[in-house]
């Protein structure tokens, strides 16, 4: 195969694939919160396994708290949040939560999750925060106990 033909074939393949690639990228960037439809930011998104086993993604911890305060839905089976320091997913029941002066620009959230109590206390001290009784999120504990 000569070089010109090869380049032409690659060009045709790329132009044919472009609409599919563009659609895939748009789908990824337009992922929305299951509670309020807000755009999801990868390191703020909360991963919920609902009581019926379905997965839901929420835009942030305070959005999760609003969802948990609604008594018309059963408590989720499990919730995972991102560690503020590393971005790693943590089981919310084992994480430590801090409300502080640090406001997430996308969600307006002032609540942050940490893998350890020590990390939570460091953040609280540095940013005028308050460590919530833990480990775990009080609203999630309450929802599990009540329902």
Q: Please, what is the minimum distance in Å from the beta carbon of residue 67 to Zn ion?
A: 8
Q: Please, what is the minimum distance in Å from the beta carbon of residue 16 to Zn ion?
A: 37
Cα separation of 56 and 76, whole Å?
10
Q: Please, what is the minimum distance in Å from the beta carbon of residue 89 to Zn ion?
A: 17
Q: Could you give the count of Cα atoms lying within 13 Å of 90 in the half-sphere of its Cβ? A: 24
Choose the binding region for Zn ion from 24-32, 62-70, 71-79, 113-121 (rule: CB under 5 A). Answer: 62-70
Q: Please, what is the minimum distance in Å from the beta carbon of residue 63 to Zn ion?
A: 3
Among 40, 48, 59, 143, binds Zn ion (CB under 5 A): 59
Examine residue 66 and tell whether it contacts Zn ion (CB under 5 A): no
C-alpha dist (Å) from residue 38 to 31, 67, 105, 140: 9, 14, 13, 21
Q: Could you give the count of Cα atoms lying within 13 Å of 47 in the half-sphere of its Cβ? A: 11
Examine residue 56 and tell whether it contacts Zn ion (CB under 5 A): no
Cα separation of 120 and 135, whole Å?
10
Choose the binding region for Zn ion from 9-17, 61-69, 78-86, 130-138 (rule: CB under 5 A). Answer: 61-69
According to CB under 5 A, which residues from 16 to 55 bind Zn ion? 33, 35-36, 38
Q: Which residues are 10's β-sheet partners?
A: none
Cα separation of 142 and 147, whole Å?
9
Q: Please, what is the minimum distance in Å from the beta carbon of residue 13 to Zn ion?
A: 40
Catalog residues that contact Zn ion under the rule CB under 5 A: 33, 35-36, 38, 58-59, 63
């Amino acid at each position: 195969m000569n070089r010109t033909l090869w380049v032409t074939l690659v060009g045709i393949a790329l132009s044919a694939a472009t609409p599919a690639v563009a659609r895939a990228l748009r789908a990824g960037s337009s992922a929305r919160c299951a509670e309020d439809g807000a755009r999801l930011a990868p390191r703020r998104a909360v991963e919920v396994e609902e009581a019926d086993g379905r997965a839901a993604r929420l835009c942030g911890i305070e959005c999760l708290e609003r969802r948990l305060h609604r008594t018309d839905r059963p408590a989720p089976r499990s919730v995972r949040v991102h560690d503020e320091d590393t971005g790693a997913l943590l089981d919310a029941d084992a994480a430590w939560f801090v409300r502080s002066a640090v406001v997430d620009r996308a969600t307006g959230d002032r609540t942050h999750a940490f893998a350890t109590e020590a990390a939570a206390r460091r953040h609280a001290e540095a940013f005028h925060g308050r460590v919530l009784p833990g480990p775990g999120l009080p609203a999630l504990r309450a929802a599990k106990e009540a329902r």
